[in-house]
Amino acid sequence: MKAESDQVRALRSRYKESLPEKAALVREWHLQETSGGISEAGVDELSSWLHKLAGSAGMYEYQEISDFSRSLMQSMPDLSSQELASRLKKLELLLEGAAK
């Protein structure tokens, strides 16, 4: 049983180490949105990425990130550019905070 918990601990550690990279990716989308908007293909990519983030963050017990990502993904079609940019910034800050 101890080996399994060591494996789980190692997976959680690697996931936590990936959070700054995830925050940087969200920062790029935020910058795109504030400087002319994310392309249609980019919106599809963002939506898919948010879906994956919602699942993986929940699995590694980052429930706030999971819930926020899912909510953002579901509300994206109804958001103004300014609202999307604001929510992307919040997600970036959530990821950065969890990485500490």
Could you please report the per-residue DSSP string of 33-91? HHTT---HHHHHHHHHHHHHHHHHHHHTT-HHHHHHHHHHHHHGGG--HHHHHHHHHHH
pLDDT at residue number 95: 98
pLDDT at residue number 1: 47
pLDDT at residue number 67: 98
Contacts for 72 with CB less than 8 Å, ≥ 6 apart: 50, 87, 88, 91
pLDDT at residue number 96: 98
Domain ranges of the chain: 2-99
**What are the average pLDDT values for consecutive 10-residue runs of the chain, which has 100 residues?**
78 97 98 96 97 97 97 97 98 98
pLDDT at residue number 3: 60
The single-letter code of the amino acid at 34 is: T
Q: How many CB atoms lie within 10 A of CB 68?
A: 20
